[in-house]
Amino acid sequence: MTTNTTSADLYRHGLQLLLEKNIPAWVELWDEDGVLEFPFAPDGWPKRLEGKAAVAEYMSGYLDHIDLHDFPHVEIHQTVTPGTIVVEMRGVGLLVETGSPFDMSYIAVVTVKNGRITGYRDYWNPLAVQNPATNFAGSN
């Protein structure tokens, strides 16, 4: 991706990398100082990750927990703030440990600068993690 890549294009590319199970390439979309936030994270789950290295560590076990198959709904909204988009989406697949269906809806606010993700606020549903089999995001 280039510095001229739009936020929406970069985001769509990131989704494709997740479907390809290429977590290292997804992490490479991040700025060194990028911040990933989970405002609705339940107790014991990370609420804020600062820097590409923290994002990489957080995502390192992703494939051990989720077998992502598709994003059947992705709607990207442009904002008046340059480089910032709001995304409504749904991801589906399987939970690796149990083989149970994984189906999560998200709203994300994503900021891109110079072709890299600098901010990502992920408003996912914390009620979905009440099932112990869904403890896929690491409770460091």
- Decide: pTM greater than 0.75: yes
Rounded to an integer, what distance in angstroms lies between the CA atom of residue 116 and that of residue 104? Answer: 25
- Do 34 and 52 meet the contact criterion of CB atoms below 8 Å apart? yes
> What are the φ and ψ backbone dihedral angles of 130, each rounded to 5 degrees?
-70, -20
- Do 13 and 34 meet the contact criterion of CB atoms below 8 Å apart? no
Per-residue model confidence as pLDDT tens for the chain (140 residues): 556 679 999 999 999 999 999 999 999 999 999 999 999 998 888 999 999 999 999 999 999 989 999 999 999 999 999 999 999 999 999 999 999 999 999 999 999 999 999 999 999 887 765 554 444 444 33
